[in-house]
Structure 1
Amino acid sequence: MDSSGKRGVCARIDVCDVGTCVSTRSTQREFDPRTSGGIILIDGHTKLYGLLAHPAAHSLSPAMHNLAFDRNQINARYLAFDVTPETLPTAVNAIRDLHLGGVNLSMPLKKAVIPLLDHVSDFAQKAQSVNTIVNRDGELYGYSTDGVGVVQALKHHTDLSQAHVLLFGAGGAAESAALALSDNGVGQLTIANRHVEKAQNLADRLSALTQVISLEDEAAVCAAVQQADVLINATSLGMQVQSELTPMPASAQLRADQVVMDMVYDPLVTTFLSQAKQAGVKTCLNGLSLLVAQGAASFELWTDTQMPVAEVEKHLAGLL
């Protein structure tokens, strides 16, 4: 209903592609989720989802989820909201008050949000990290799809129950990955981190057979690389400002049959992945595959439908 009291008025946005607005204008046309041809219709029934992050403007999540909503013919939109730890309680209340369908969260909000929720999944409690909130009739449910994304991406390429995984890092991303791998019965896990005590604290919480080594012990790292079936970079080394850095020694000997994953997605080909490709490794997974897998898990929690993963990943790659 608009200011004149008329029903059926919705906003029409002509777009060239998801996230690229060319013009906006009002129309009397009723919402039809089957509409195609680059026209997005927003009406009083449009469900809103979003990202809570600081900063938020750089995120690929709106492009990912809005494309998925369109392809699945779901009357919903996804926006990015710049939220700091100080404003997080207000933002969480707004999810209820404005009847948002749900949100994603990024660091440093993932742990801070836990006491603000009504329900938290067992895995998210164990990880002490929530990256997905689902609003069910005003009750907020918290989940973590971070580690789930790692497992789903790897299952397409290896039998985790028989795999020896070498995980670089022991921070938030590594923690979620390690917990998910352990819960999904990974054969063996080695955690390589600069601070061994932090890695050991993580290892002590896992049910999987786990070894801890120091990143500063080059010989130990090289030996672990040779023994591993899967290698995962869960550090920030390789991101834009550190694009030339890698946690893996240049002297490390890789095998063609290994699976190498980097959780960094910008750049798409990091120094870590370049090392693997140059060594002839056939299966190299960039962080974009992981980002989409995590997003797909959130999307399914919200909509009970599956994200068109291949199309979404191709679209996002074109934005980087």
Structure 2
Amino acid sequence: MSKLSINRDTKLCMSLSGRPGNFGTRFQNYLYDELNLDFVYKAFTTTDLPAAIGGIRALNIRGCAVSMPFKEACIPLVDELDPSAAAIGSVNTIVNDDGHLHAYNTDYIAIERLIERHAIDEGTRFVLLGSGGMAKAVASAMRDKGLANGTIVARNAEAGQALATSCGYDWRPKLDFEPAMLVNVTPIGMAGGPEADSLAFSARTVAAASIVIDVVALPPETPLIRLARELGKTVITGAEVIVLQGLEQFVLYTGVRPDDALLARAAAFALG
């Protein structure tokens, strides 16, 4: 791996998150090094979002990944919304072109591509658990790929009903039937969280399903994914989602698309 020295021309990319992690830093910097690109990536948090976004513009920072709780709050602070962000009112990527801040949602793009890759049938009846910013991206991508038979299950009734209405889906406070596809878009199963060892859906519900999607990326094998694999279900993991959305961010920042072999190595390094 070649390593360029940081210099005055090095382009900075960054992330803003309430709880910064290491995936983006490891993934992006690995690709910069492998491709000999004069970029560097650093994770940040902030207590002053307008000042942070203003800093991106003022310091000519090339790109910024945006995570919770900033995905919606940053919208009035950018100049332009890509359709991927405008469709759902949620941003996870900002690209700075000479002071013009263009916002995207690569979570949405990743889900669309995974639906295509796994050839999920439009008629599949599914339940999506969750109602936050990532849930908006997943539900909207499914809607726009023609999956019309969906139900949103969310503890937050107001947010759950709003998401269901915006996508043309039903809302229920709890799951009381057994759909063909299960989609977890909550922190249940996340490493280090209070429900790290919990299943997002009951074992009986998982057994009745054909497809299980869990957007929790760390660990890549959540309790839900492990059970689904044991039962022989088709699975889409959060690791697949985070790698694809990170890839699209990398392309937006650099204009370079790594080949599949390099992408696999970067993913293994970042998730390892």
> TM-score scaled to structure 1, two decimals?
0.76
Structure 2 counterparts to residues 117-196 of structure 1, below 5 A: 117-196=78-157
1:274 paired with 2:226, answer yes
> In the superposition, relative to structure 1, how do residues 126 and 92 fare at CA in structure 2: closer, same or farther (>3 Å)?
same
Structure-1 residue corresponding to 2:8: 44
> In the superposition, relative to structure 1, how do residues 196 and 90 fare at CA in structure 2: closer, same or farther (>3 Å)?
closer
RMSD: 2.1
1:314 paired with 2:265, answer no
CA distance in 1, matches of 2:206, 2:150: 19
1:69 paired with 2:66, answer no
Query: Does structure 2 retain, via aligned residues, the 8 Å contact 1:146–1:173?
Result: yes
Structure 2 counterparts to residues 213-292 of structure 1, below 5 A: 213-215=172-174, 217=175, 220-221=176-177, 223-224=178-179, 228=180, 230-240=181-191, 241=193, 242-252=195-205, 254=207, 258-281=210-233, 283-292=234-243
Secondary structure of the corresponding residue to residue 4 of structure 2: strand
Larger relative contact order (C-alpha < 8 A, sep ≥ 6)?
Answer: 2
Deviation at 1:59, TM superposition (A): 2.8
Structure-2 residue corresponding to 1:28: none
Secondary structure of the corresponding residue to residue 161 of structure 1: coil
CA distance in 2, matches of 1:253, 1:202: 24
Deviation at 1:171, TM superposition (A): 2.0
Greater Cα shift, 262-271 or 186-195? 186-195
Query: Does structure 2 retain, via aligned residues, the 8 Å contact 1:134–1:142?
Result: yes
Query: Does structure 1 retain, via aligned residues, the 8 Å contact 2:29–2:41?
Result: yes
CA distance in 1, matches of 2:166, 2:109: 17
Partner deviation per Cα, 1:88-116 (whole Å, 9 max, x = no partner): 11111111221111111111111111111
Structure 1 residues without counterparts, runs of 5 or longer: 1-35
> In the superposition, relative to structure 1, how do residues 262 and 159 fare at CA in structure 2: closer, same or farther (>3 Å)?
closer
CA distance in 1, matches of 2:263, 2:121: 22
Q: Aligned pair count?
A: 267
CA distance in 2, matches of 1:247, 1:63: 28
Aligned amino acid, residue 190 of structure 2: M
Percent of residue pairs identical? 31
Greater Rg, structure 1 or structure 2? 1
CA distance in 2, matches of 1:146, 1:65: 16
> In the superposition, relative to structure 1, how do residues 188 and 71 fare at CA in structure 2: closer, same or farther (>3 Å)?
farther
Aligned amino acid, residue 244 of structure 1: D
> In the superposition, relative to structure 1, how do residues 76 and 253 fare at CA in structure 2: closer, same or farther (>3 Å)?
closer
Query: Does structure 1 retain, via aligned residues, the 8 Å contact 2:111–2:138?
Result: yes
1:98 paired with 2:62, answer no
> In the superposition, relative to structure 1, how do residues 108 and 71 fare at CA in structure 2: closer, same or farther (>3 Å)?
same
CA distance in 2, matches of 1:261, 1:149: 13
Query: Does structure 2 retain, via aligned residues, the 8 Å contact 1:52–1:105?
Result: yes
Aligned amino acid, residue 191 of structure 1: I
Structure-2 residue corresponding to 1:33: none
Structure-2 residue corresponding to 1:304: 255
Structure 2 residues without counterparts, runs of 5 or longer: none
Aligned amino acid, residue 63 of structure 1: R
Query: Does structure 2 retain, via aligned residues, the 8 Å contact 1:48–1:100?
Result: yes
